[in-house]
Amino acid sequence: MSAFLTPGCGNDEGETIIITLIPWTLDFDPSNELFLVERKSLSIWKSTGDNLSGQLLPPSGGGFSPWGIDVGDEDILFVSDDTAARPRLLALSTDFTDAVPLGPETLLAEVELSEIHPDDPIPVPRAVESLALAPGTFRVFLAAGAQVLVFDYSVTAERFSYWQTLAGDADFPSRNPRVLPLTY
């Protein structure tokens, strides 16, 4: 990513500033705004057209390491946070502009993954995807290791409810191969 500064910023020549980005995952909302997880700055960028229109930064104390992102239909971002001390699933508001730290105005709900299975540590969360069930209700799928944690999210209550864990059999491909027919 680069920016061009007009004359008057330093000297009479235009200057180019190069910003190193590590884009990780992205998604679009229904109005074609782009939301991007940027791993170098541990932030979420919002872009409208050709313009960066907002950036969601880690709080001043840290503790925010976004990984996966999914835009819900009702101005909600579902984000997996792989912060080592407390991996979690977040619901965030898409209504942020400029550069703002994650805080009460943007954080709608969170669930710490250690609360789901306290005796069995959950692997680092990665991909996240949501499915609108009804107005104001989403089913949210979170990939973590060889399992998928499934939550329901209520927009009005602004909270997650754990629903179930879908666990894979690590030996499945070698022990019980399956061929699925393809239709065109």
Domain boundaries, the chain: 23-172
What is residue 171's predicted lDDT score, i.e. its pLDDT? 47
Q: What is the structure's pLDDT at 175?
A: 36
Rounded CA gap, 146 and 126, in Å?
A: 11
- Note the pLDDT of residue 5: 47
Question: Which of 4-18, 63-77, 80-94 is predicted with the least confidence, judged by mean pLDDT?
Answer: 4-18
Give the C-alpha separation, 173 to 170, whole Å.
8
pLDDT at 179: 44
Q: Are 162 and 116 in contact (CB under 8 A)?
A: yes
Ramachandran area for residue 94 (φ above 0: left; ψ -120 to 50: alpha; else beta): alpha
Take residue 73 and report the two structure tokens written for it: 């239909």
pLDDT of residue 6 exceeding 60, the answer is no
Which has more pLDDT, 101 or 1?
Answer: 101
- The verdict on domain 23-172 having CATH code 3.40.50.300 is no
Q: What percent of the chain has pLDDT over 70?
A: 80
Strands 51-57 and 98-101: parallel
pLDDT at 116 over 80: yes
pLDDT at 181 > cutoff 50: no
- Kindly report, residue by residue over 41-77, the tens digit of the pLDDT: 999 999 988 888 999 999 988 899 999 999 988 899 9
